[in-house]
Amino acid sequence: MVKFIAKRLVQMAFLFFLFLSLVFFLLQAQPGDITAQFLNPQIPAEVRAQILGRLGLDGSIWSQWWNYVTNFFTGNLGVSFSQFPKPVIEVITERIPRTLFLFTFATLFAYVLGFTLGKRLAWKRGGLGEHGVTVGGVLLYTIFYPWFAILVILFFASTLGWFPVNGFLTVEVWRGAPFTGNQVFTQMLFSLGISAVILAVGLLVSRRVSERSTARMIRRSTYALALIAMAMFWLLRPEMRPYAGNLVRHAILPVLTLTLVAFAGTMLLTRSSMLETLKEDYILTARAKGVPEKDIRDRHAARNALLPVVTSFILGLAFIIGGGVVTETVFGWPGMGALLLTATVIEDVPLATGALGFIGVLALMAHLLVDILYVVLDPRIRVQTGS
Amino acid sequence: MVIKDSERPDLLEPPLEELAGVEVREGELPESLWKVRWKLAWTGFKKNWKLFAENKIGLFGLFLILVFAAMAIAHPILRSVGPWDDDRIYDPVIGYDAVVSDFEIVPTEADVVDPVTQMDAPTAQLWCFGVLPGEICSIPRAPAPPGPGHVLGTDPLGRDIASQLTFSTRAAFFLGTIAAVVTVVVATTVGSMAAFYGGWLDNFLMRLADLVLLLPLIPILIVISGLFEVTMPLLGILIGVLSGFGGTAIVLKSQALSVKVKPFIDAARVSGGSNMHLILKHVIPNVLPLSFLYMMFTVTEAVSLEATLSFFGLINADMTWGIMLSTAQTQGYLRSGFEFWWLLIPAGLAVSLLAAGFFFVGRAMDEVINPRLRSQ
Amino acid sequence: MTDTRMGTAEGILGDTNSTAETPILEVNDLVMNYETKAGMVSAVEGVSFTVPRGRSLGLVGESGCGKTSIALTLMQLTANNARVLGGEVILDGENLLELSAEEMRKRRWNDLSMVFQGAMNSWNPVYTVGEQIREAMDIHWNPKPTSVEARAKTEELFNLVGINPEMIDRYPHEFSGGMKQRAVIAMALACDPKLIIADEPTTALDVIVQEQILEELRKIQHELGMSIIYISHDIAVIAEITDLLGVMYAGKIVEMGTTSEVFARPRHPYTWLILSSTPSITGPRRVLAPLEGEPPNLLDPPSGCRFHPRCPFATEQCVVEEPPLEEIYEGHAIACWNYEKVPATLAKGER
């Protein structure tokens, strides 16, 4: 297993390298050079050469390319044009926790909702419910997303007033707060991360244990521990509570909108995957063994139907990240996606490409996690990876 | 273990030749070759249509597409010989019409409940000097709600919404077509080459496809549109290339692989066919139905992507649905609520419905091409 | 010769087993159809047979003759469009058709288990073989087995079918085809059922493995005194391991008797033709006589005797009236008007 992860990391690094190179050459393909907008065209040639030298733009294209890529890997993304002299990496790191927060929760909810609905839909075939939910799901999937987001805001925030209209925090609430929004986000994500690790470890251990009752006990205590870990943040930092509450209140609409649009793909795929799985002989065997219906659905069918769903989830990740960019922009959520757009519009090239690179990193990391998940789930692959 | 096919009479059908009424006798063909091919193709098409039509959703999707096609065709007609022939008013980009509406005057800005029908006194002074609260003032306005002369009202710049809507339909179809065709060409080429030439080329292309698959399109397109001037044709090509290199290429490669191992390929090779010839003559026709299917999904994606990018003001085009929404948004008419609904609903609905239409058709076609998905 | 109790289970083979024991399974006049868009497909039409305790019965016939449908009906695992229109299935005194779904679920595997065709796919790929066998025990054993007990039983079963007990914790994809088949048999025995149904237990296996499996099955039947129903289209396989043999055609049993008797003296034209089309290594050389025609369309089966369109001995009566399954000779029942015309030696074909 460790070998597998290491191998995958290397592959990811290579893919990222490819990606960065493509971005770099894309930049170069622009008409004129990068500094065209930012330098007064009337400055004398020597001064211009000097500036180009300082910015590292005077070497051959290959040396520039090499510099660019290696710099990225060491965290040197250049300096932002628009927020000069702030380094790009600083601007981006400030934004990451907010994007991660949105992305993680939207992904989790979309996936769980899509899978559960798809599983149940495939089980109870026919009927108005199936048709309605399928059509509804597809409509949500194809709806014009920015428009949908605006509708949601206008309806729930402007008209009904249940949620704030935009932004990720209410300034009045946060005035004079002893910590930044990012700190609170990071804490929340941290506890989420810990509970995820607990869940993973606990469930893996319980699979190894053969005694049924012990395994169940381990599983139950794992769930409890995970919940406690998530609440740990709530318990250990009482002073953060109202601020966290405010953040969550702002987060509800964006996360909800992104989830609604993303779940349909998973739901439809789960449904067709389940339908395929239900035709398999081992389902009939399970029924012949007298396995209760619910166990057939969950332990036999869904568990196998899960596999292609997880694979296609990789595609879904790209969709959610892209959707995240739009979500952040429309909801005024100041994350990396919104940064990308504003940087592009004001033509701050280092910032825009830095943000794009980071989004690439996010995509690759998520891909890696899903790959690992797949290996854990499918024993047939495990043998091949030598674990 | 369920009933075998031999016990399912509804599955046993006479062969296509019999259905088409083509007699196959030993030795010679009774009719000329092209006629036979045509008959077989037509009967095959009718059979597939029957299967397609069983799926209500597919029919609904087709209906949506036809409605939009009608809109696209209607626009130039309405604009040349129909009621929209006045360029000054109805041109979707540069038209202008100041529709005069009645406003009820209220004392101050805070009293304005419905900005569509009410205006505060200080602002109204500019047009109707000396007007008092409670009186009516007629002011030319933009955007104007739907009314005589403008079925869907006008936008913040006084342009007719319905004209914009139908004009943008053509842009959408245009973009969709380009994207779809480019996707298919790229994916088929990449897939076939990977399948037939194998080796390092296959490896490289598949790694590239993996990369393209997992990178989110929107951020990439955003940055590209920031660096370059993106027009509609260019956007179509970009979308086509980016999606063609991805998942579609992988699927088409496995399709090409399955064709490659068929005996007739060996036969063709033995009689001297080069790889390129094989690809063109045998793989492409076999792969075409599947490609056509993916074209549907590409159009869905292209329509949505373009609208999103236009909404952010990144595309250089005359008028699209995304631009319509962008205008409304940036001028602040979508801030407070649904008062200016005619700026919001038609354009957004158009994008969603056209995308949905192609998606539905694609799914229905999927069930025809992959019989395993059928509800039986 | 003919028993007055015609058409009932007791009438057929009533005295093959001279013990006072009741048969483990009694099927009386089972009628089952499939409802399709094109109409009702008559899959099982008035089938009756008994399985004496500790004996094995084979059901043989072409694809689509209804033997698998019978098996599925016994287990109550038929497709959604199956309709049981009449008859009884009495397992150890209890009519299975009258049970509720939940009651039947409890009986499945516990009283009546099945080995499906194509054992390779009977295994869920994401759980180990041991886990899947354990699952059956967890559901039916009362009280639930402990880890130790379940393990011990599984090892015992594996030893019985000839698999190394180390494989218990392996995944199905690590087993060979023959091992998978054997493991399926082991799983079928996990709850000590009263009756096992084996559907094509050796199809899709190569000949050597086939022999091994048949040997295992013989051993199991002998050592455990299991009652087994075998289903196959391969009469040669069936003949090796069954005590009783029933030949099916188009949803009906056309001949039933002890295996040796039916094999040696086939009386129904269909059986006679089948055996004539099977070469024998040991018998005299002869040209094989093929069976002409195709199985009938069960949507609209032939009138009278369903075999009459393909029967070389058919008479007018055969077209009009359906022959009942009657015990003609001792322990040998036939459904044919013209059984006397069937020759004593197998048919020869024409060159």
C-alpha to C-alpha distance for C309 and C327, rounded to whole angstroms:
24
Stronger pLDDT, A293 or A181, i.e. the higher one: A293
- Supply the pTM of this predicted model: 0.77
Nearest by Cα to B61 from B353, B297, B366, B295: B353
Does the pLDDT at position B65 exceed 60? yes
Q: For residue B311, what is the nearest residue in chain A, using CA coordinates?
A: A146
The residues, any chain, with a CB within 8 Å of residue A66's CB and separated by 6 or more, are none
DSSP-based three-state secondary structure for C256: strand
- DSSP class of residue C166? G
* Over residues C292-304, mean pLDDT: 83
Chain C residues whose C-beta is within 8 A of a chain A C-beta are 75, 77, 105-110, 113-114, 116, 118, 121-126, 135-136, 138-140, 146-147, 151, 171, 173-174, 187
Summary mean pLDDT of chain A = 80
The residue type found at B301 is E
Binary contact (C36, B4; C-beta < 8 A): no
Dihedrals phi, psi of C244, to nearest 5 degrees? -120, 150
Does the pLDDT at position C14 exceed 70? no
Does the pLDDT at position B169 exceed 90? yes
Summary mean pLDDT of chain B = 81
The beta-carbon neighbor of C135 closest among A284, A289, A378 is A289
Does the pLDDT at position C26 exceed 80? yes
Closest-CA distance of chain B to residue C341, Å? 32
Query: What is residue B202's predicted lDDT score, i.e. its pLDDT?
Result: 84
* Confidence bin at B149 (pLDDT 50/70/90): confident
Residue-wise pLDDT tens digits, B293-338:
888 999 999 999 999 999 998 888 888 999 999 999 888 888 777 8
The residue type found at C283 is G
Does the pLDDT at position B76 exceed 80? yes
Does the pLDDT at position C309 exceed 90? no
The beta-carbon neighbor of B312 closest among A147, A276, A341 is A341
Residue-wise pLDDT tens digits, A30-83:
666 555 555 666 777 777 677 666 666 666 777 777 877 787 777 777 777 777
Residue-wise pLDDT tens digits, C41-98:
888 888 999 898 888 999 998 887 888 889 999 998 888 888 888 889 998 888 888 8
Query: What is residue A185's predicted lDDT score, i.e. its pLDDT?
Result: 79
C-alpha to C-alpha distance for A15 and A13, rounded to whole angstroms:
5
Query: What is residue A16's predicted lDDT score, i.e. its pLDDT?
Result: 85
Closest-CA distance of chain C to residue A321, Å? 31
Q: What is the dihedral of CA C252, C318, C256, C61, to 10 degrees?
A: -50
* Confidence bin at B1 (pLDDT 50/70/90): very low
> Which of C40, C42, C45, C298 is most worth mutating to test chain B (most B CB atoms within 10 A of its CB)?
C298
A-chain CB neighbours of B208 within 8 Å are 18
Nearest by Cα to C88 from C122, C136, C47: C47
* Confidence bin at C229 (pLDDT 50/70/90): very high
Does the pLDDT at position A125 exceed 80? no
* Over residues A306-332, mean pLDDT: 85
Query: What is residue B371's predicted lDDT score, i.e. its pLDDT?
Result: 59
Closest-CA distance of chain B to residue C30, Å? 18
- DSSP class of residue B282? I
Stronger pLDDT, B126 or A251, i.e. the higher one: A251
Query: What is residue B25's predicted lDDT score, i.e. its pLDDT?
Result: 53
Does the pLDDT at position B194 exceed 70? yes
The beta-carbon neighbor of C171 closest among A289, A290, A379 is A379
C-chain CB neighbours of A309 within 8 Å are none
The answer to which of B262-271, C151-160, C315-324, C328-337 has the lowest mean pLDDT is B262-271
The residues, any chain, with a CB within 8 Å of residue A323's CB and separated by 6 or more, are A106, A145, A258, A261, A262, B218
Does the pLDDT at position C342 exceed 60? yes
C-alpha to C-alpha distance for A269 and C125, rounded to whole angstroms:
20
Helices (H), chain A: 2-28, 45-54, 61-73, 88-123, 127-142, 145-152, 171-174, 181-208, 212-236, 241-278, 281-288, 293-295, 303-331, 336-345, 349-377, 379-384
DSSP string of A289-311? TT--HHHIIIIIIIHHHHHHHHH
The answer to which of B30-39, B64-73, C318-327 has the lowest mean pLDDT is B30-39
Chain Cα centroid distance, residue B183: 13
Query: What is residue B67's predicted lDDT score, i.e. its pLDDT?
Result: 95
Does the pLDDT at position A201 exceed 60? yes
Query: What is residue B376's predicted lDDT score, i.e. its pLDDT?
Result: 38
C-alpha to C-alpha distance for C133 and A33, rounded to whole angstroms:
70
* Confidence bin at A383 (pLDDT 50/70/90): low
Does the pLDDT at position B175 exceed 90? yes
Binary contact (A359, B355; C-beta < 8 A): no
Residue A265 and residue A141 in contact, taking contact as beta carbons nearer than 8 Å: yes
The residues, any chain, with a CB within 8 Å of residue A246's CB and separated by 6 or more, are A169, A170, A173, A174
Q: Residue B250: how many CA atoms within 13 Å on its side-chain side?
A: 13
Q: Where are the beta strands (DSSP E) in chain B?
A: 99-106, 118-120, 136-141
C-alpha to C-alpha distance for B250 and B237, rounded to whole angstroms:
19
Dihedrals phi, psi of B120, to nearest 5 degrees? -85, 155
Residue-wise pLDDT tens digits, C123-155:
998 888 998 999 999 888 888 888 888 899 999
Binary contact (B8, C36; C-beta < 8 A): yes
Query: What is residue B375's predicted lDDT score, i.e. its pLDDT?
Result: 44
Does the pLDDT at position B373 exceed 70? no
Task: State the count of interchain CB pairs (< 8 A) between A and B.
Answer: 140
Tokens of A134: 């399928």
C-alpha to C-alpha distance for B144 and B154, rounded to whole angstroms:
5
Does the pLDDT at position B4 exceed 70? no
* Over residues A346-353, mean pLDDT: 81
B8 interfacial to chain C (CB closer than 8 Å): yes
Closest-CA distance of chain C to residue A312, Å? 19
Contacting partners of chain C (3+ CB pairs under 8 A)? A, B
Query: What is residue A357's predicted lDDT score, i.e. its pLDDT?
Result: 86
Residue B34 and residue C70 in contact, taking contact as beta carbons nearer than 8 Å: no
The answer to which of A96-110, A269-283, A366-380 has the lowest mean pLDDT is A366-380
* Over residues A80-106, mean pLDDT: 83
Residue-wise pLDDT tens digits, B84-126:
777 777 788 887 877 777 778 888 777 777 777 788 777 777 7
If you count them, how many residues does chain C have? Answer: 351
Task: State ipTM.
Answer: 0.82
The residues, any chain, with a CB within 8 Å of residue C136's CB and separated by 6 or more, are A289, A290, C109, C187, C190, C191
Residue A380 and residue C171 in contact, taking contact as beta carbons nearer than 8 Å: yes
Query: What is residue B7's predicted lDDT score, i.e. its pLDDT?
Result: 53
Q: Which neighbouring-strand residues pair with B100?
A: B140
* Over residues B225-251, mean pLDDT: 87
Angle between helices B199-214 and A349-377 (to 10 degrees): 110
- The sheet with strand B136-141 has its strands ordered as B118-120, B99-106, B136-141
* Burial class, C222, CB count within 10 angstroms (exposed 0-12 / middle 13-18 / buried 19+): exposed
Query: What is residue B358's predicted lDDT score, i.e. its pLDDT?
Result: 94
C-alpha to C-alpha distance for A258 and A148, rounded to whole angstroms:
10
